[in-house]
Structures are given as structure tokens and as C-alpha cells.
A and B are shown apart, each in its own frame.
Chain A
Amino acid sequence: MSPARPRHGARRRPTTRQDPIVAGVRWLDERLGVAKGGRVLLDKIFPDHWSFLLGEIALYSFVVLVATGIFLSLYFVPSANELVYHGIYAPLRGSKVSAAYASTVNLSFGVRSGLVIRQMHHWAADVFVGAIAVHMCRIFFTGAFRKPRELNWMVGVTLLTLALANGFIGYSLPDDLVSGTGLRIMFSIVLSIPIVGSYLATFLFGGNFPGDGSIIPRLFIIHVLVLPLIILGLIAAHLGLLVHQKHTQFAGHGRTEHNVVGSPMYPTFIAKTTGFLFVITGVLWALGGLAQINPIWQFGQYEPYKISYAVQPDWYMGWLDGALRIMWPWSWTFLGHTIPFVVLLPAVVFPGLCFTLFYAWPFIEAKLTGDTMEHNLLDRPRDKPRRTAIGAAFLAFFFTLFAASSTDVLANFFHVSLNEVLWFFRIAVIVIPIIVGVFTYYLCREMSGVPGIGRRKRAVVIVRSATGEYESVPSEPRPGDGAEELLPSPVPVHIEIPEDEGDGDGRLEPVEAGGSGVRRVPRRP
């Protein structure tokens, strides 16, 4: 609280001993000592900006993943044991399928709302990884990873890797043709690691591919217990650090490196964010009901000798799949040993380098810029042309790799030869990031030189007078255009609630400009 807070008269706000809220707080406080810290928490300030919602999307997708995942685990049988299908899905009856596949089909068709919740789980996983990626872009481009938040950035990068891993593992569980093909490729990727690769691969799968059937129960326990626990712990650490270090904010009226301006946790932020949780859940539920995803009964049971056309992983694996596709066919054999660089480089070394770079970026940038200051105010991306250009080039690189995971589909769609598409991507993956980076750099430089950029321009209204002359009149000010705004004040603690007119609607007509401070001006005449 502000030390300069003036003290007011001696009249005390009447409180009665019987007040149940006071009694409840006292009961808790006498046991846990929550009153002081609790109020600080209720007063915690959340700066407002649309981009701060991206992390919340990730958080709430995770909530949905846990809830829907628990539901699915009540029905899913994590076993590769073969059985003859007798379940509800008629076209499959009499076929030999694995227990995992059969139970996934059964929970989709035989459990009410099962299909919706299963598809919701899959959609939530796709959204989870996407939201993390976009949230990470926000952190990157605004420089929110700088001192003192490097550690939280690293926690976030870890969360991204775990989200990718757990997404892939979950996708592999139903034992359908597409996911089994993914596992086959994963086996080959592990196999490509020099010296230990073949041992690791046969240990994990219980023998040469497809192994002795132990991979599905193993992946299951990793998917539902090990990784979710780690993710949960890291999310707790992520948010704990966020509270401890407080939010970053964009520069603006009354905002400095030493304060946080926004709306308080209780009641404003709680209401908005709880509503947002419902909105995210609602969108995911609607997707689960309306947008078919991973229809494994169309793919069929996985058999190692079967393959289907246009097999693609979930979107977040696309960059690795693309890298595998466009890699030069390079394999090195010497002294009776083989290093399959064609798999090792794009699927092991390349993602390893990417994530190492992500982890190290805050320190690399500090080294390059020599900036060791603490930063709580965010950068506008245009003000940091070099960082923004590097980020944009990286994004272009990943998008190109992602597109390269569809070489066959693109060749079909545009009626060009697969060979040409492949060569296009081998070149594009180098050229496009360079073009994007250079373009972004100069765009940022140009933009940051424009006075008043980023502020909404005050519109003018052209008025025709009775004599036929035209005159331009400034329009009414709008929020965000730099018109008068209130200076931020500390969150009020004691509020005088009028006894008679509790809802306060009588006093809510717009306040005219020129008073002690006008926060709202009419948007429309």
C-alpha cells in the first residue's frame, strides 16, 4: 500500500461482532494467520491486455485435459492383448483387435457423451500445445523473459516440451493405424541414436518393433500419471513465480517499472477469469461435439504391415515430420557401424538444439545486448527490431517445416510433382526465414520511427454547416486514444456501502470531463 496514504477522521466504520464474514476470517486467521497475506492476495493486481489471456488458455486447456482425461481413464483399457470384438460398433464385430482399440471404440459409441468427451480431450490437447506456443511468442516478442524472469521462461520451455511429449504419447494410446505408424517412426528415431539407440528402443518396446505389447501400458502410465504430475508441479511453480515476481505490464498512464496497474484479483479478475474458464471449456466441448477428430474406427486397428495414405501426426508434431521429410538422405557407415544422420539429425539433434536455444535465449540476449537490468515494463515488438526479426525468422522456419509435413498433400492439390515440392521446401526452409527476418527488421525500424504509432488516432468528424461550408471537429474521445484517464489508485479496502440503494444504479450516469478525474467518456453521442 502507498506510504503516502492520507489518514482520515476518527469515525470508524461500524462493524458488529456478529458479522459472519469477520467471524469466519478470524476463525481461519487464528489457526492459519491468513488475514494479512490473504488480503494482499485479494488485492493482487492483474494488468489488462488481450495477450495476457494466451497463457490462461493454456492453463484452462490443461484443466479440461485433466477432467476429461479422468473420465476417459474410467473406460480405457491400456492393453495390447488381442481379443475378438463384440462391442457396440457393429462394423467391427468379429474382428481381432487390441483391448486398447476396442475400449476406445466402445467408450466413443457405448458411453453417453463418451465420444464428445474423448474428442474434447483430443481438441484440448491440440489447443493446449497451441496456446503454450502462442503464449511463448508473446513472452518472447515483448521481452517478458528478461531479468528477473529467466527462470520462469525456462519452466515454460520445459512445459512446452512436456506438453508435446504427452500429446504424442496420448495420441499413441488407442492403437489405431495412424498412431501405430507414429510409434513405428518413434522406434526408428530412438534406434537412430548412436551406440545406445538399439538398446533403448528394445528396452522400451520389449523387443524389436512392435515389441511384446508392453509399450501401450507403459505409455499409458506415463501419459496419465508421470507427465501430468510433472506438468502440474511445473504449472504450480510457473504461477507461483508469477505471483512472487508480479506481472509485467506495458508502459502507459501511471505505469512504471516499480508498480503494477490493472484490476484486482477479487472481485474483478476472479469474475473475468472464471468466465473465461467456462468460455474455453465451452469452445472445447462444442468442438468435441461438432468437429470430428481422430476417428479411429475409420483408421482401423494398427497392424505393422498396414499403412494408409496421407498419414500425418497431430499438428504440433508437424515441424518434426517436415524436417524428417526434407532431410537429405544421409547415412554414414564406417568400421561396421552406421549413423543414420537422415533420422538422427532432424528428429533428435534438431529438436534438441531448438529447445537448448529456447532455454538459453534469455542469457544469449542479455549477453548480446549487455543488458543486465531488471525489466518489468514490456517492450513493443517494433521497438526491438533485432529480437523481433530473429523471432519472426524462427517462426517462418517452423511454419515452413510444418508445411513440409504435407508434401504429398500439396503435390496432389497443386498437381505438381512430389520431387518439385520436396526441392521447393529444401530451399524454402532456408530462404523464407531469411526473407521474413530481413523484412521484419526493416518493418520494425520503419514503424518505430513513426510518431504516435500504436496509439489510436483521434478521429475527426466532418460537419457541414447550414451555409454549406465543411468543418472538421475532433470526435468524442475513446478509451485508449490517450484521452484523460484516471490515475491508478490503491485497491480500496473499506468501502462505504450505502444502506438504501445497494445496487448503486442511480449514480451511474456518465461523469463529465473536467472533474477530479474522468475515467469514462461516452462512446456514442
Chain B
Amino acid sequence: MSDDAGTIAPPEAGGNGAPGGLPVTSFDSPHLRPYAKNPRRAETIIALFLLAGLAGFAAYGALYWVGGQPQWEGVFFGGGLFAFGFGLSAWGKYLLPQGPFVEERHTLASTEPEVQSMAAAIGDRGKMVFRRRGFLGSILGAGAGVMGIVLAFPLLRSLGPQPKKSLDTTNWRAESRVVDLDGKPVHAADLEVGGALTVFPEGFAGSAVDQTMLIRASDRAITTLPAGRETWSPKGYLAYSKLCTHAGCPVGLYEENLQRLLCPCHQSLFDVLTGGNPVFGPAPRPLPQLPLTIDSQGFLRAQAGYDQAVGPGFWERS
């Protein structure tokens, strides 16, 4: 920088002193001139903007009076505020003094002795506090620590129950009847091949943790499931937990052609015919499968509950 404080122009003064010894600046000083080349014209334009703002406010008031309408409310009051603000800003920019004006910075840092004094005030007096009083200090520290921990009880622990087994278990049990959202039991003849339905255990319709995708992938038992699940898909009915193993969104999109289930949140894709294996996306585990059976009246029931925790992963999950 070639410029420094020494080149700052002296104030263009009118030659008169004032109270406090500060100079009086002439109204004609170039620093006080407006930015606008033609202030008359600027004034006219600014006046028009302010008037437009005023008109917008009035129009909004009238509109409100007759019942209001969101779009016009936006146009009138939003437009009014914009014009009003634009006029005011333009007034500041084009008609008010632009300088350039300057103020000096003051050094933030103190002198070295002042720094030393402050440090000594803290350090020396601090040493006085704890000198030969280490025991008191320890009690003070321990007390503050215990106070902090104890405060977490009401502030955090009171908020809700411990997780206990709520994350690991569902309300599906052996013999649970499969019902739809309205609580109506699902009959083996209810779904066409290619059909899908969100189901719950009887008595828990709408329950978040129990939600299960019932899919009829075929009209006979599915043979491509992992070993041990030969009896889980009577008449081609398959049931998977609807909670994505990634972040817990409902895996709600059944793509019949591909026999895939898609989670719309983060695009995890699960293969229906091979046991809900994730074939794509961020889901790290297969969807838990619910073993199904058909009772003597033809209604779907669970052979057993889920054999693992449903939904996303967590520390206690084994």
C-alpha cells in the first residue's frame, strides 16, 4: 500500500470553529455531495419507488379488508415492501453523503506490561486460592462433576423410557393373524399374484414397529428362499418387515416385474424372492422375513414372530 494515514485529506472546512474545537464543514464539501449525477432526477425516481411502496401497502390493506387472496397479498405487500425498501436504499446511496470517509483503527492488543499484569492477576491470585488448599479444590471439582452428572438425570433420563427390548421385539407372535390397516384379517384369496399390502398382527393395526409388507409373488411356494425357509411362503405369499434396515423408512415400493422392494428415502433395493437381500443402495442387511402359514379357514397367520430385530442397526443389536 502506498497510501497511509498521512495522505488523508484535511477536512474541507468552512473556516469556522465549533464547540469542542471540531471544525465546521461546508455544506459544499465534495465529500458531502450526493453520488447521483443528477439529484433532481434521482429524487424523482426515489419518490416514485416510495409511492409505489405506499400504493402496495394500501392495496394490501384493501385486499385484506375484502377477504384476502394469497397470491395478490404476495404481490401487493411484498412488492410494496420491495419498492419502499428500494427507494430508501437508493435515497441512501444516491442522495446522502458518500465520502469516502475514514476512521482510524485502534490497536486491539494491549501493551506487554498490561498483558503481564492480567496474567499475574489470574495466575498469582489463582495460586493463592489453591495454595495448600488442594484438598478443597479436589472437593470443589468432584462436587461440580457429580452435580453435572446428577443434573443429567432430570434433564435427560426423565425424558423417556429405557430402550430395554422395545427395539428388538415386535408384536408378531406364533399364530398372530395377519390383518390389514383396518384390522380386517387377510385371506389367502385376497391378493392376486403381483399384489402387495401393508399388514399388521391382529390387534396392532397401524403399529410402526410391526408394519410388514405382504407380497404375493406367485401362486405356489417360493423355492428360491434361503435354506430353512421352505415353508415360509404358502401359496406364494411372502412377508417382510417394512422397516428399511438402513434408516428405518417404510420400504413401500414393490416392483412386480423385478420382484424387488424399493425404499424411497435412500433407494435401497431388496430382492423379494431370495429372502429380502439388499441388492443395491446403502441398506446393509436383508429385510427380516416373517414366516407365514395359512390356517384351516384360509386366513394368513404368522408361524412365529420375527427372528431378529427389525429396522436400522443399533449398538445392542446382535
Contacts and interface: CB of A to CB of B under 8 A. Distances in A.
A324 B282 contact: yes
B5 A305 contact: no
A299 interface: no
Contacts of A202: 160-163, 166-167
Contacts of B16: 8-9, 11-13, 496
Contacts of A304: 206, 208, 211, 250
Interface stretch (B24-32, B114-122, B129-137, B231-239): B24-32
Contacts of A489: 8-12, 29, 31, 99-102
A244 to B, nearest CB: 8
Given A10-B17, A331-B285, A492-B32, A148 B108 contact: yes
B203 interface: no
A261 B102 contact: yes
Given A255-B3, A418-B267, A496-B24, A281 B312 contact: no
A343 B313 CA distance: 9
B12 A287 contact: no
A184 interface: yes
Q: Most B CB atoms within 10 A — which of A115, A260, A268?
A: A268
A275 B1 contact: no
B298 interface: no
A365 to B, nearest CB: 20
Nearest to B103: A45
Interface string B26-64: 111111111101111000000000000100000000001
B87 interface: yes
A259 B102 contact: yes
B88 interface: yes
B261 to A, nearest CB: 12
Given A272-B93, A492-B31, A192 B73 contact: no
A518 B100 CA distance: 12
Interface string A302-337: 011111111100000000010011111111010011
A419 interface: yes
Contact of A271 (B19, B89, B252, B285): B89
A208 interface: yes
B8 A2 contact: yes
A285 B93 CA distance: 24
B249 A285 contact: no
A272 B91 CA distance: 7
Interface stretch (B74-82, B141-149, B188-196, B219-227): B74-82
B208 A496 contact: no
Given A306-B250, A419-B280, A508 B33 contact: yes
Contacts of A508: 33-34, 38-39
A181 B163 CA distance: 21
A264 B70 CA distance: 39
Contacts of A510: 37
A314 B221 CA distance: 44
B160 A4 contact: no
Nearest to A502: B27
A494 B91 CA distance: 22
A453 interface: no
A283 B82 contact: yes
B315 A285 contact: no
Contacts of B72: 289
B281 interface: yes
A483 to B, nearest CB: 14
A43 B294 CA distance: 85
B98 A263 contact: yes
Given A10-B17, A184-B247, A251 B1 contact: yes
A27 interface: no
B82 A279 contact: yes
Interface stretch (A66-74, A210-218, A380-388, A441-449): A210-218
Contacts of B182: none
A329 B278 contact: yes
A504 interface: yes
Contact-size category for B: 35 or more
Contacts of B247: 184-185, 188-189, 324, 343
B296 to A, nearest CB: 29
B151 interface: no
B22 interface: yes
Contacts of A44: 103
Contacts of B17: 7-12
Contact of B105 (A116, A251, A260, A485): A260
B92 A267 contact: yes
Nearest to B158: A203
B112 interface: no
Contacts of A255: 1, 3
A300 interface: no
Nearest to B312: A188
A311 B249 CA distance: 11
A49 to B, nearest CB: 13
B185 interface: no
Contacts of A486: 9, 30-31, 99-100
B159 A206 contact: yes
Contacts of B242: 305
Nearest to B213: A305
A485 B35 CA distance: 12
Contacts of B283: 329, 342
A281 to B, nearest CB: 5
Given A116-B74, A309-B264, A495-B25, A261 B100 contact: yes
B86 interface: yes
Interface stretch (A193-201, A230-238, A353-361, A464-472): A193-201
B7 to A, nearest CB: 6
B215 to A, nearest CB: 15
B10 A276 contact: no
A278 B315 contact: no
B23 interface: yes
Nearest to B11: A489
Nearest to B318: A336
Contact of B249 (A185, A274, A310): A185
Given A13-B24, A15-B19, A269-B92, A116 B70 contact: yes
A255 B102 CA distance: 8
A327 to B, nearest CB: 5
Interface string B255-267: 0000000011111
Contacts of A352: none
21 contacts: A197-B314, A198-B316, A246-B103, A261-B102, A262-B99, A268-B97, A271-B91, A273-B92, A274-B88, A287-B74, A305-B181, A307-B252, A324-B247, A324-B282, A343-B247, A343-B313, A422-B281, A485-B100, A486-B99, A496-B16, A516-B30
Given A148-B108, A268-B93, A271-B96, 10 more contacts: A7-B23, A112-B67, A116-B74, A191-B314, A198-B315, A262-B101, A268-B92, A283-B78, A305-B250, A338-B316
Give the top 8 A-B pairs by smallest Cβ distance, nearest first: A289-B74, A278-B85, A286-B78, A271-B92, A275-B89, A282-B81, A340-B313, A275-B88
